[in-house]
Structure 1
Amino acid sequence: MPIHFGTDGWRAVISDTFTFHNLRLVTQAIADAIGSGDWHVPDTSGRSVDPRKMVVGFDTRFLSDRYAAEVARVLAANGYTVYISQADAPTPAISYAVRHLGAIAGVVITASHNAPRYNGVKLKAAYGGSALPEQARRVEVYLNDNEERGRGPNMMDWEQARRAGLIERFNPIPAYYDHLRTLIDFDRIAERPQRIVVDSMHGAGREVIRGILKGTGCEVHEIRGEMNPGFGGTHPEPIARNLSALAGAIGTGLGDMGLATDGDADRIGAMDGRGQFVDPHQIMSLALRYLVEERGWRGPVVRTVSTTRMIDRLAQRYGLKVYETPVGFNHIADYMLKEDVLIG
């Protein structure tokens, strides 16, 4: 079966390779890998982790909610208690829920910024970040082993699992908002409220930025915030060529700046008041400068080979060490688990 886990899981074309049948097989391999005893990565934060608790989330793509329900059924049949999001939610909110709920891992049904015909699985480890490469390889080992042995997935009826307390619906957003309020000074934002256009690109970030900014005095106008599994015929990737709608909204006076999130809201782009695109490389550089100069924080910086060398120049100015990794959140997470990384 042509299923391979990449830097953040598995993606494939819906109804081609990404089918209910294959998803159940992948979920069974995830359940087996996590239950093997060699899965948990020690967490230095002192949190307790429940080895039989899992979190499941999903984005706005075609059938993502149904796929997520199938994942929950397989995990429940393997003895896991599954907390599944009530509605589509940003991947960062699900990642935080894994930590907040003390789960051993999380599964997000999403193909991120890929074209609408794709869907996929993102696998999250107990610390909330992407599963490490060795964890993804372990899933592949069980996937291939189960196929060779002709072993199908364990399945449990949805209502039976609900009655048994093995599947619970939850809303990940309130706890995520509470966490963000410990990181961001919203009082400072309220001192100089902005007029902001938010382009959710029909993805899982819809209403989330507007919601967290309530009470700050900011005027937030959201575009492309309705459910549209086809993403309006474009790739839900916040890069300049896909953001003409955002530039148009700013140009007509709906806001003085713009923010755009991708299909599962774990990527961001921005625009200034003239409709000029501000890419994630610039955003990360600005964030690094802010953390050092305004907050006085220090620590090593981690970037992938594809990230701007502006990071290196800033780190040299501040006397910070820089680590370079292959592309993929999991490689960055590896360093963040080992050291007190400032930003990655």
Structure 2
Amino acid sequence: MTTPTVSLLARDLKCTLGVMITASHNPFQYNGYKLKDEFGGSMDPEEIAKIEEELKNIKEVNRKNLDELLSSGIIKYFNGNEYYYDYLKNKISTDKIKNANMNVIYDAMYGAGQNIINRFIDIKQLHGELNPGFGKNAPEPVEKNLTEICADIKNGNYSIGIVTDGDADRIAVIDEKGDFLDAQKTFALLLRYLFEKKGMRGKVVRGFSTSELIKKYCEKNGIELVTVPIGFKHISKIMITDDVLIGAEESGGIGIKGHLPERDGVFNGMLYLEMLAEYGKSISELKKELDDEFGKYFYQRNDVRTTEEKKLKTLETCKALKAGDEIGGKKIISTDDLDGYKFYFDNGWIIIRASGTEPLLRIYCETTTTDQTKDILNKTIGQFGL
């Protein structure tokens, strides 16, 4: 069962709490708990902190016999997967997808998303079997982990490749040529589809490290744009209280109006299939339309493992940088410290921040050419001796 399914059940069954045991997109050694609240999204960090404090007070666990708990009704089994399948049927135009006769390949990354999409249409599924070690790789849908599905598409005849992470709340998309579609473009194409084709309205909420393409699209179409710190919990909080059309982060986590205040890779994968069926165009054609209208943007994130000493020194140096200084060979025009340190220059930006989930520095960069994005990233890493 996927993490978004747990969120859906917590909401629809009016549960006080939903608990998912998962390593998410991380290696299996990171196995832990995700707590979902009754509204169908991640529990507020302050509430989680209260639970953690309560756990410290538990000295002894009063274990009970499972059969007794089942017979008394305290524990009940529920087929959440079937509930989720029925839910998708009512939310996604599955008949339209079937009639489009698309050739789809899906990589489950040995995760919880396996054997869901193929309930609706015939697909080729990769890594759709039980493997607790995820094939010795982190089940994270980033470009470097997706060489197999990209090669299959290049050597085959596929309309789209869809990938979800270990607990299936994140998505990655590969176009019909076998080229990876970065999460920024994945976000932008869904936003355009919801706004222009489906006629949906509402605010757009984006993480701090998302593309300027989103800002340009919202400005042109009069859409209110809200920027929040990195982490979907910040997006979810606004989705609960406000009228939000779509909320997304740069790592492939996307929440959609009318679904959940939560990321859902499988739902978004099905929505992508619906989008292609509706437009009758390929992903590369749709991407080119965005590029022609708003210009090209090239984004990359580097995760740099380093010592704690170097990490702290880098962050201190970033804190002191100001307009007029240089980073990665580019003159800084302005700065923003909403989450980490963001530096704007003439044709792009770069962010340096400490990861909230792993012992490393994350460096994000976007410019108008691939080569320049890579060059600035490499020069920045060298500048800080990382």
- Scaled by the length of structure 2, what TM-score is found? 0.61
- Kept after mapping to 2: 8 A contact 1:203/1:265: yes
The equivalent position to 1:297 in structure 2, one of 192, 195, 200, is 200
Deviations 1:82-133 (A, max 9, x none): xxxxxxx111111111112111110000010001222010000001100012
- How big is the shift at 1:143? 3.2
The residue type equivalent to 1:95 in the other structure is S
- Unmatched 5+ stretches in structure 1: 1-88
1:252-291 paired onto structure 2 within 5 Å: 252-253=155-156, 255-291=158-194
- How big is the shift at 1:160? 1.9
Q: Is 1:210–2:118 an aligned residue pair?
A: yes
In structure 2, the CA distance between the partners of 1:162 and 1:341, relative to structure 1 (3 Å rule), is: same
Corresponding position of 2:234: 331
- How big is the shift at 1:192? 1.4
1:80-91 paired onto structure 2 within 5 Å: 89-91=1-3
Corresponding position of 2:147: 244
- How big is the shift at 1:223? 1.0
Deviations 1:29-54 (A, max 9, x none): xxxxxxxxxxxxxxxxxxxxxxxxxx
The equivalent position to 2:91 in structure 1, one of 180, 183, 201, is 183
Corresponding position of 2:73: 165
Distance 1:294 1:97 in 2: 29
Distance 1:317 1:188 in 2: 30
- Kept after mapping to 1: 8 A contact 2:110/2:129: yes
Identity %: 40
Distance 1:189 1:206 in 2: 19
Q: Which moved more, 1:328-337 or 1:106-115?
A: 328-337
- How big is the shift at 1:278? 1.1
Corresponding position of 1:121: 33
Q: Is 1:313–2:205 an aligned residue pair?
A: no
Q: Is 1:174–2:82 an aligned residue pair?
A: yes
1:27-46 paired onto structure 2 within 5 Å: none
- Kept after mapping to 2: 8 A contact 1:207/1:225: yes
- Match of 2:246, SS? coil
In structure 2, the CA distance between the partners of 1:188 and 1:153, relative to structure 1 (3 Å rule), is: same
The residue type equivalent to 1:117 in the other structure is Q
Aligned residues: 247
- Kept after mapping to 2: 8 A contact 1:221/1:254: no
The residue type equivalent to 2:82 in the other structure is P
1:15-94 paired onto structure 2 within 5 Å: 89-94=1-6
Moved over 4 A (4+): none
- How big is the shift at 1:157? 2.4
In structure 2, the CA distance between the partners of 1:252 and 1:300, relative to structure 1 (3 Å rule), is: same
Distance 2:136 2:66 in 1: 33
- Kept after mapping to 1: 8 A contact 2:28/2:133: yes
Distance 1:280 1:139 in 2: 33
If asked which structure has higher relative contact order (CA below 8 Å, sep 6+), I would say 1
Distance 1:312 1:325 in 2: 13
Distance 1:201 1:184 in 2: 23
Deviations 1:279-322 (A, max 9, x none): 22221111110111011111111111122232222111211111
Distance 2:116 2:14 in 1: 23
The residue type equivalent to 1:115 in the other structure is P
Distance 1:308 1:316 in 2: 13
Distance 1:320 1:138 in 2: 37
The residue type equivalent to 1:169 in the other structure is Y
- Kept after mapping to 2: 8 A contact 1:132/1:331: no
- How big is the shift at 1:254? 5.9
Corresponding position of 1:105: 17
Distance 1:309 1:91 in 2: 30
- Kept after mapping to 1: 8 A contact 2:23/2:29: no
1:139-150 paired onto structure 2 within 5 Å: 139-144=51-56, 146=57
The equivalent position to 1:192 in structure 2, one of 100, 111, 136, is 100
Distance 1:331 1:156 in 2: 38
The residue type equivalent to 2:99 in the other structure is E
Distance 2:103 2:31 in 1: 34
